[in-house]
Amino acid sequence: MKIAIASGKGGTGKTTIATSLAHTLAKEEKTNVLFLDCDVEEPNGHLFLRPVLESREEVSVPIPVVNEGKCTYCGRCAEVCQYHAIAVVGKKVLVFREICHGCGSCALNCPVEAIAERPHPIGVIEWGRSGEIAFAHGILNVGEPMASPIIRHLKKRFLKGDFTGVAILDAPPGTSCPVVETLEGTDFALLVTEPTPFGLHDLELAVQVARELSLPIGVVINRDGIGDEGVERFCQENAIPVLMRIPFQREIAEAYATGKTLVEAFPEYRERFKTLFSQIASILQARAEISGERR
């Protein structure tokens, strides 16, 4: 089972929920848990799970290298590149690697085979264990724009077809490519929000993303009590289950500040995370039964 923890708005508590869920399942339920931190721009899961990272692998994207000896400066590469990442200026070919998506189209289209590709590193993935939890995260190099290839690499490496157990994917904030890359192929999107106008606005967007990907969803309301009723009303009107509410308490915020997971700081939450997981499992089971009947 693959559960993605997402939210439109940043700082709503994705990592808090993801780490405590992983912690509870691995320690209490003896489940085989894999924690994947897919927020490769600002990965934080390791700060709470404190894994021993044993291995590391570079992630790169292929970028074009032009053999100026063969090149006829015909400009075909620039014409086919949809991202304007390669340009021919007089007797010079310029490659703008930051905006190159590594699609390989320039090399395929070069009539004189003057374009080769070389890997350009954009970040790393690291993995190891945090006690019973298998842990992996990706880190985008500073100055590199594209997070998606690292997330793709992370998922390919650890979520192979034969994966059993529970994978918890901590998603980046937002609604664009890195979020989609994280959510795609998962079984459930757990959307973490806060009961404020910003939280509501961004939850609505996150719900649309999950629907676009046909994922079943559930909501966690964090810092319950700080704002207004908008999020509750929205969930009710749209029949979105609210699976957990965590009240706003200064002590929770202070424990978070020091890098403790919620269940470490407040062990009474373990039962609630067990319930959260069993609710997700039953939603997925009900869904499987319905699609079974349809067949």
Partner 1 sequence: MKQIVILSGKGGTGKTSLAAAFAHLASREFPVVLVDADVDAANLELVLSARITERHSFIGGKVAIIDPDKCAACGICETICRFDAVVKPEEPDRCYYSVSPISCEGCAACYYQCPEGAIQMQDREAGEWFVSETPYGPLVHARLHPAQENSGKLVTVVRQKARQLALDEGRELIIIDGPPGIGCPVISAVGGVDIALMVAEPTVAGTHDLERIIQTVEHFRVRGAVIVNKYDLSIKGTQAIEEFCKNHNVPVLGKVPFDPVVTEAMVKGVPVTAFGDSRVVEVISAVWGAVRGML
Which parts of this chain interact with partner 1 (CB under 8 A)? 8-12, 15, 41-42, 44, 47-48, 80, 82-83, 98, 101-105, 108-109, 140, 142-147, 172-180, 184, 196-198, 201-202, 205, 208-209, 212-213, 226-228, 250, 253-254, 256-259
Residues 6+ apart with CB under 8 A from 25: 31, 33, 166, 168, 273, 277
CB of 262 to partner 1, least distance (A): 13
For residue 28, the minimal CB distance to partner 1 (Å) is: 24
Q: Where do we find the tokens 């703008």?
A: 96
CA distance 171 to 188: 12
> In the complex with partner 1, which residue's Cβ is closer, 176 or 236?
176
Shortest Å, Cβ 85 to partner 1:
10
Nearer Cβ to partner 1 (152/274):
152
Q: How far is the CB of 187 from partner 1 (least distance, A)?
A: 17
| Count of helices and strands (H, E) across the chain | 11, 11
Q: Which residue has the tokens 């009947």?
A: 293
Cα–Cα distance, 261 to 23 (Å, whole number)? 8
- Considering only CA atoms, give the Rg of the chain: 22
Residue with Cβ nearer partner 1 (128 or 227): 227
Strand-pairing partners, residue 37, are: 137, 170
Dist. CA 61–CA 118, nearest whole Å:
8
Q: How far is the CB of 10 from partner 1 (least distance, A)?
A: 1
